[in-house]
Amino acid sequence: MNKKGFVLIAAVMLLIFSPFIFSLFYLNLVTEILILAIFALSLNILVGYTGLVSLGHAAFFGVGAYMSAILAREISPNFFLTLFASLAAAIIASAIIGIFCVKVSGFYFLMLTLAFSQMIYSFVHQSTTITGGSNGLSGIPSPLIGSLDFSNPVYFYYLILLLFILIYGGLSLIVHSPFGQVLIGIRENETRLKSMGYHTTLYKLAAFVLAGGLGGVAGSLYTSFNSFISPSDVYWTMSGSVLIMVLIGGSGTMIGPVLGAAFIVILETIVSSYTTMWMMIIGIIFILFVVFFPKGIVGLGKLLFQSFSKSNKLSAISGKKSNALYNNDVKN
């Protein structure tokens, strides 16, 4: 078996064994990392593969999360109901918002996504009757499948793990498919693709909806995990946070966002237990990554790996010379 498959299997085994190794607190942390990793993976479709940097992704997370919360409280906490309703709501929202956003690019895209997400935020924050306003919605019942109650954190962990593996696998297939190749083409040189006859706007919209829908799924899982949702999870700082996860992890790769999510969650949790200056530390690390490791943790990992292998001192140096942040090789 090749190197990649080996690493993959080892990782999956580690994840399966987690509840047996980790204490409850760390297991919950891993669950949270997996959910945020799904969120980061969804943003990565836009940022890493299509080259559209969005600062409004929290909007879809929020739509999915609140949909899930309201349904679970008012109708039924059936897991499939909340999950699919959230997915549907997020798809509709991203389709509507996407139609406008894909018409612009670069800085304008960044600002437009921000504007839409802030509009959704202010709606959520003000509508106290539907969304609980600034206090959020709490006491959301744990998800149910049939009569199986997922309030047990270990069962819930396995459910999330299963979903994560499915989504990761599914996205890998999409990204390596012809569709994915078109997205990468749009990122590299949209004009060229257009001249080849591709309707790039349609592809961008599709990517936007895919990203938004999955973002909504992440939001729904988040609500089920915490039994709680509040407007701060729809605020632009959430969008900024997931963008940092994608960029630090390594945008344009599949494993990057997952590593980024893990990195940020662990950093936030552990660092802030020791110091109140955690923002400064995250800021410095972020700056270091942007300047020295623009390919993120994945790039850093590759660099270290290459410098350990006997031949290839040369490729280690050329690895450092890459510039733009999301210019990654197609094979990933």
Partner 1 sequence: MDIIGAQLVNSISYGLLLFVITCGLSLVFGILGVLNLAHGSLYMIGAYVSYSITVHSGQNFWLALIIAPLAVAVCSLIIEMILLRPTYQLGHLSQVLLTFGLAYVIHDMTAAIWGSDVLSIPLPQSLSGTVTLFNQAFPVYRLAVIAIGLILAGLLWFIQEKTRWGAIIRAGLSDKEMICALGVNIQLVFTVVFFIGGYLAGFGGVIAAPILGLYPSMEFQTLILALVVLVIGGLGSIAGTFVASLTIGIVETFCRFLVPELSLFVVFGLMAVVLIVKPNGLLGRQVVKH
Partner 2 sequence: MKKKLFLIMLVVFLAVLSACGNSAIQSTSKKEEGGSKSGGTIKIGVLLPDSGVYASLGKHLHKGMELYFDSIDWKIGSKKIEIIKEDSEADPQVALRKARKLIDQDKVDILTGTVSTAVAYAIRDEVDKKKIPFLVSHAGGNDLTRSKRSDYIWRSSFSSWQIGNSLGEWAFHNVGKTMYIAAADYAFGREVSEAFKEAYTAAGGKIVGEVYPPLGNNDYSSYLTTIKNAKAEAVYAFFAGSDAVRFVQQYDQFGLKEDKKLIGSGWLVSEDVRKSQGNAGVGTISSIFWDYSIKTEENRQFKEAFEKKYNERPTIEALEGYDAAKIIAEALTTLDGDASDPDKVVEAISNVEFISPRGPIKFDKETHHVIQNMYIIETKLVNGQTENEVIEIIEEVRDPGK
Binding interface with partner 1 (CB under 8 A): 53, 100, 103-108, 111-112, 114-116, 118-119, 122-123, 125-126, 236-237, 240, 247, 276-280, 282-287, 290-291, 294, 323-325
Residue of 52, 51, 72 whose CA lies nearest to 219: 72
Give the count of residues interacting with partner 2 (CB under 8 A): 49
3-state secondary structure 70-108: HHHHHCCCEHHHHHHHHHHHHHHHHHHHHHHHCCCCHHH
Residue 240 binds partner 2 (CB under 8 A): no
Ordered DSSP codes for 111-136: HHHHHHHHHHHHHHHH-HHHH-GGG-
Q: 172, 201, 227, 312: which one contacts partner 2 (CB under 8 A)?
A: 227
Does residue 170 contact residue 41 with C-beta atoms inside 8 Å? no
Please state the closest distance from residue 119 (CB atom) to partner 1, in A: 5
Q: 44, 226, 253, 328: which one contacts partner 2 (CB under 8 A)?
A: 226
- One-letter amino acid at 165 equals I
Q: Which two tokens stand for residue 3?
A: 């190197």
Please state the closest distance from residue 250 (CB atom) to partner 2, in A: 24
Residue 305 binds partner 2 (CB under 8 A): no
Ordered DSSP codes for 205-239: HHHHHHHHHHHHHHHHHHHHHHTEE-GGGTSHHHH
Does residue 268 contact residue 32 with C-beta atoms inside 8 Å? no
Please state the closest distance from residue 231 (CB atom) to partner 1, in A: 12
Q: Which does 282 bind (CB under 5 to 8 A by kind): partner 2, partner 1, none?
A: partner 1
Q: How far is CA 13 from the centre of its chain?
A: 22
Q: Which does 84 bind (CB under 5 to 8 A by kind): partner 2, partner 1, none?
A: none
Please state the closest distance from residue 276 (CB atom) to partner 2, in A: 5
> Which of 134/315 has CB closer to partner 2?
134
Q: Which two tokens stand for residue 121?
A: 């935020």
* Residues contributing to the site for partner 2 (CB under 8 A): 1, 6, 9-10, 13-14, 17-29, 32, 122, 125-126, 128, 132-136, 138-139, 151-154, 157, 226-228, 230, 232-233, 268-269, 272-273, 276, 278-279
